[in-house]
Structure formats: structure tokens, C-alpha cells
Amino acid sequence: MGTSVPRRLAVLGSHGIPASRDELASAASAPAAFGSSGWPRLTDTLGRRYTYLRLSVTDRCDFACVYCMPPGGEAEHAVRPELLSFEEAARLVALFAQLGIDRVRFTGGEPLVRRDIVRLVELVRRQSGVERLVMTTNGSRLSELAHALSEVGLTGVNVSLDSLDAGRFAEITRGGSLARVLAGIHAALDAQLEVKLNIVALGGLNDGEAARLVDWAWSLGITPRFIELMPLGEASNLSAERFLPWATIASRLGKRIAPEQAGAAVAGQGPANYVFASDGSGRKVGFITAVSSEFCGSCNRVRLTARGDLRACLASRGAVSLRDALREGASDRELAWQIHRALGTKLPGHFFTSAEVDEHEQVGMSLVGG
């Protein structure tokens, strides 16, 4: 290191990245050494490595699920100029890719209600070079869009489906059409997209359907994943009986998965742990145990909201506006520094079960990007 390097850098870690949260908080602009020997990979001060970006493309939705939005949907939405433009989003994903992100999930709100979503996926694929592009969707518009999305490089969809009963489905989604979602799932399979099912387990509402949902998904070659209800936004107003720990859901699946298998769950690339079918067929059930068994220690995800706020954690309100930085003319180096700083201050866990911390209760999934 040359003599012209500021003294402060003496305490910085590799690539000029501060070694502690305090250093990160005080380091406002990028030190000279940052990026001088290539872009540093995204890691935080606890050693977690970030490879997976969840990109929210809208805060709007055509459903208003009881655990996600108030009746009638969220009161306020970003207006078009507040949203990241497609070009801005693609530039940021390309930058994230240089920082080690190799998997991008488009989400929302409902990503398929963003106009020209196919063009966005195509632009991100072309500009960032990221090959693993997936989407989480409620499926309501998949029958029209699945083939086009597949053609421009989308590789998979996680479709949210909490019930196979049309009445209950409409109740949970506040008006969603089961028939449209099922048609969307078939279109996605037909378009060669890898399909997974996201099921939010709701005690007293759909937990009696757990086995039926697994059988149905397996019959189509789809992996079902049960998500523990998280006390975010609207869900924090639901009664305690709605919250089911994953072990209770697993017990509803009878002999489909062997009890000893449940203890031998294997980690996936995202937040789910997978348990294999007891019949040796290789089929799986996923469990996203966000509440009963926190997985924050192995978190590999960064979130970018539709407004361009970088959030290090789903449960935290802390955010850095990459959109504003971009619009003020920030270089890639400056943006990369801001991303590192935001992640460096990430806390070890989410406090979902803490009586003192209720920050997460003020942010619904549709606003952060689930």
C-alpha cells in the first residue's frame, strides 16, 4: 500500500472493506483501495456470502391475500417515476452480478402485473449475464406469459397456491380465481419452466389440505414448499391459531415423508430445507421455517425493492436508495460501495419472536418483495 493511502485504511479489511460494523457506519464514501484489485464479492461482517438477489418489480397486485395485504389492497403504491426503470434495474443487476450474485428472483407485489415484464426479464438476462433467473408469482397471468418468459431466459417459477378448493382459494386471496392459476401452472410446465409451489400454511384454514396439495403437486412433477406464516405487515394482525410450525405441517403429511427424513432435511439454494419422500422416489417437500427455526445465519439473499431501495433483510426497515444514487449520477464503483456498506451493517437475525422488536410488523411482503 502506497504512502498516499489515507491512514483510516490501515484498519480496513481486504479490498478496502471495513472489518467491523462501526467502521462501515462511519465510512461515508468509498476509500481509495475499494475495488482497486477487482470487485469484492458481497459478504458481511459475520461472514455471510451473498449470491441471490430478489428483485421486486412492482408493489401492486391483483390479489390481496389475507396474510399479505389489507382488504382492498395496500392504500398507497409507487407511481411510475418512483419505480426503477427497466434500464436502471438491469444496470443494477449487472452490477450485482459483478459482485457475485448468480441468481435473480423477480418478485413483487405481483411481478406479472408490471407492464412489459417480459422485456425486463430479457434485458436483465442480456445485460447481466445471470443465467439463473426465476420468479415468484401468484400465477394469475402465467397462462398468457409463461411461454414468452421462458423464451427470453426465465428458468423457473414459484407459484403461490394455498388451496385446491376454489372457494377457500378465493377467500385466502380475496377474490383470486383458482382456475386461472391452475391454467397458469400448466402453461408454465408446458413452457419447460421449472415449477415449484409455495404454500403458506394457515392453521384452521388450509392445513387440512396439506397432504392433498403435496399429492397434487407430485402428480405433476412439482415440488411443494410450505412456508411458515411470518408476522409481517398484515399477517401480524392474524390470530395465533393461524401460525403453524413446520413440524405440525410435516405431521399432516402422514407416511409421504418418513419422520426420520424430517430430521435429515437438506438445504436448497434459497431459504427452504427439503425432505425426501419415504418411498425413495426422490420427490421432495420443502419447508421454509422462517419463524420456528431461524435460518438467518446462512442467509445469502439481498433485496431490491421496486422503488430501488436496497434492503439487507426482509424484516428490517433499514434501506439504502440505490435509485437515488443512480439518478444523482453515481458510478458503478460508488454504487458497489453503497451496497457493501448496506450489507455490512446487517444484523445477525430477524427478531420475529421478540416481544420488544416489532419493526417487521410494519412492512408487508408485497412492499419489500417476498
Interface ranges with ligand SF4 (CB under 6 A): 61, 63-65, 68-69, 108-110, 138, 160, 365-366
In the block, which residue shows the cell 427452504? Answer: 272
In the block, which residue shows the cell 410450505? Answer: 226
Q: Which three cell numbers stand for residue 325?
A: 444514487
Given ligand SF4, ligand SAM, none, residue 227, with its beta carbon under 5 to 8 Å by kind, binds: ligand SAM
Given ligand SF4, ligand SAM, none, residue 52, with its beta carbon under 5 to 8 Å by kind, binds: none
Given ligand SF4, ligand SAM, none, residue 64, with its beta carbon under 5 to 8 Å by kind, binds: ligand SF4
Closer residue to ligand SF4 (CB): 24 or 61: 61
Given ligand SAM, ligand SF4, none, residue 299, with its beta carbon under 5 to 8 Å by kind, binds: none
What are 257's strand-pairing partners? 277
Given ligand SF4, ligand SAM, none, residue 209, with its beta carbon under 5 to 8 Å by kind, binds: none
Nearest distance, CB of residue 290 and ligand SF4, angstroms: 14
Beta-carbon contacts of residue 299 (< 8 Å; ≥ 6 apart): 48, 271, 313
Interface with ligand SAM (CB under 6 A): 61, 67-68, 107-108, 110, 136-138, 160, 198, 200, 227, 229-230, 232, 235, 365-366, 370
- What number of other Cβ atoms are within 10 A of residue 177's Cβ? 17
Strands (E), 169-295: 194-201, 223-228, 266-267, 273-276, 284-288
* H or E stretch at 310: strand 309-311
Q: Which three cell numbers stand for residue 297?
A: 445465519
How far apart are alpha carbons 187 and 112 in whole angstroms?
14
Q: Which residue is nearest to ligand SAM (CB)?
A: 370
Nearest distance, CB of residue 108 and ligand SF4, angstroms: 6
Nearest distance, CB of residue 69 and ligand SF4, angstroms: 5
Nearest distance, CB of residue 8 and ligand SAM, angstroms: 41
How far apart are alpha carbons 44 and 55 in whole angstroms?
20
